[in-house]
Amino acid sequence: MTASEQQVVCRPRKALVVCSLLAVFLLAAFTTVGVLLRNSKTGAIFQVADQAAMIGIGVLLAAGTMLFAMPRVRADAQGIEVRNVLLTKRFGWHEVLSVSFPDGASFARLELPEDEYHSVMAVQSVDRLHAVEAVRALRKLHKAAWEGHTGTM
């Protein structure tokens, strides 16, 4: 596979597991409360709509939790696409000065001109070796793109 055909796709691993477990727990807890709500001996009168609302809140919280498992980075010879929690942004390699992972940082980041940077939440320090491999692969693509860019001038 040549550098122009290579593509790197990375997603967080441990965040997916933790978010999935938390989402299942929230959904189970709110569903249980919703089902048992009608049988409460507190003196309050709960209707079916209250039960449905409680389950609905559990669904919304579980879905919100899963948003943190959505980050992804997709890179190829032309550039890098970074999807964090809600937004996706694409950068050409000519816009990126470097791919870095500062000491103590939770996420990798793209160093941009004028002292700006963009977090890459898909590459997380808790994923350890997976994160190291992802940063190396991204740096390799970045280097190949810069060498190709400067070689044509």
Q: What is the CATH number of the domain that holds 100?
A: 2.30.29.30
Do the beta carbons of residue 75 and residue 90 sit within 8 Å?
A: no
Do 126 and 78 reside in the same domain of the chain?
yes
Tell me, yes or no, whether 33 and 48 share the same domain: yes
Domain count, the chain: 2
Domain contains 2: no
Can you give the pTM of this predicted structure? 0.79
| Rg from Cα positions in the chain | 22
Residue 39 and residue 62 in one domain = yes
Which of 68, 87, 102 is the endpoint of a domain? Answer: 68
Q: Are residues 39 and 110 in the same domain?
A: no
Q: pLDDT tens digits, residue range 77-130?
A: 999 999 999 899 999 999 999 999 999 999 999 999 999 999 999 999 999 999
Q: How far apart are the C-alpha atoms of 113 and 73, rounded to whole Å?
A: 20
Domain range for 128 is 8-12+71-151
Give tens-digit pLDDT for 11-58.
999 999 999 999 999 999 999 998 887 766 777 778 889 889 999 999
Tell me how far apart the terminal alpha carbons of the chain are, to the nearest angstrom: 25
* 38 vs 40: CA distance, rounded Å: 6
Kindly state whether residue 145 falls inside one of the protein's structural domains: yes
pLDDT band at 8 (very low <50, low <70, confident <90, very high): very high
Domain match, 19 and 79 both: no
Q: According to the model, what pLDDT value does residue 149 have? A: 63
DSSP 8-state secondary structure symbol assigned to residue 75: E
CA–CA separation, 75 and 14 (whole Å): 21
Among residues 44, 68, 92, the one where a domain terminates is 68
* Alpha carbons 26 and 20: distance in angstroms, whole number: 10
Residue 3 lies in a domain: no
pLDDT above 70 (res 2): no
